[in-house]
Amino acid sequence: MRAEFNFAPETRAFANTVANVPLIVHVIYRLDVGGLENGLVNLINRIPAERFRHAIICLTDYSEFRKRLQRSDIPVFALHKPAGNSLVLHWKLWRLFRQLRPDIVHTRNLAALEAAVPAALAGVPLLIHGEHGRDVNDVDGRNRKYQIWRKLLKPFVDHYITVSRDLEGYLQQKIAVAPARVTQIYNGVDFLKFFPAAKQLRNIPHPGFCDPGHFVIGTVGRMQEVKDQLTLARAFVLLMQRLPQAEQRLRLVMIGDGPLRGRVQTLLADAGIAQYAWLPGERNDVEQIMRGFNLFVLPSLAEGISNTILEAMATGLPVVATAVGGNTELIQSGVTGSLVPQSDAESMAHAVRAYADSAELCERHGAEARRVIERRFSMETMVNSYMTVYDSLLANSTS
């Protein structure tokens, strides 16, 4: 259901339907490819329609990614927020909340938290704020401006949900949120969609990347500063220089698009190894391509809980990742993968080489990664946890 700012008749009709089913309005910055957005879509697609209704407000806009919503009754509103602060945006939010009359407004990450004041002024009964990760301006959570902003808006938030213990601790220690007001819920992964490949099966749709003798290093994610794919590219250059028969063995796949893509391509071309890397941009067949990887690497500067790490683990891959944010909660170094310092190409190359040199290590760590996913990170567990929070807050608000 498409909706722009001229939405009054549509919102009135939507607000008046199925009035006995609680409405949750999810507020995000933009609905596009990303871990936060993927988690939101997964949640909405799996919550039974008879339990909750949903609407999504994008402060800026949305892309074709919205087509991943499987329900046809989910309106998506684009408010086209300009850069900087905007009183017009607050008025749009207030007006939309008044028309939709949600039972819960659920904002996600700092950019969407400004919706808290318009929600309160519109009489929304409950506001939940989700923390899903940090951006490149606050990779370690020390940004004082961001801390002050969260503290100022804290009185408007009834409850917080974080995707990692790291972010839970940040809210309690830096923002002084009482522990009873925070629930930590890990992202879930569809392990029926992401599953290990049959032995010797290759799924890289690019010539020269499917030989049984190839060792394919893969990553998936938006190609922007906080994801730091440049460090992985530099580690790959080191491996190509040091590993015996590297040109015959090593291949690099980076799925995703963004401002770093061109810089990575230039770095690899300058090193004379561009033909051994494939950077196809965004893909809609990630689960199939991932089954062609031997190793998954995530070089991020900061993370909440990485959906791509979870998907790689579900695919039965060992994971090399930076020891930042929630990565340390997902990967047990020496059991399901390896953790390395951020921005350290040398350490990353060393960790990757250990797997390139040992098929047995890859298989053992990958198999354990899959077992961890099946035990702890199911989609059902995630969805039930969110519904428990929603139900509890609604019950308390009416008692």
Query: What is the structure's pLDDT at 46?
Result: 96
**Residues 353 and 249 sit within 8 Å (Cβ to Cβ):** no
Paired sense of beta strands 104-108 and 76-78, if any: unpaired
What are 81's two structure tokens?
């927020």
Q: What pLDDT sits at residue 203?
A: 75
H helix and E strand count, the chain: 16, 14
Q: What is the pLDDT of residues 320-354, one digit of tens each?
A: 999 999 999 999 999 999 999 999 999 999 999 99
pLDDT at 397: 84
- The pLDDT score that the predictor gives to residue 293 is 95
Residues ≥6 apart with Cβ < 8 Å to 354: 338, 361
pLDDT score for 136: 79
Residue 9, pLDDT score? 46
Residues of the chain with pLDDT under 70: 1-19, 199-202, 399
C-alpha 78/C-alpha 322 separation (Å) is: 35
pLDDT at residue 208, rounded to an integer = 87
pLDDT at 34: 87
- Which helix (H) or strand (E) segment holds residue 77: the answer is strand 76-78
pLDDT for the residue numbered 210: 83
Domains of the chain: residue spans and CATH: 2-188+379-398 (3.40.50.2000), 215-376 (3.40.50.2000)
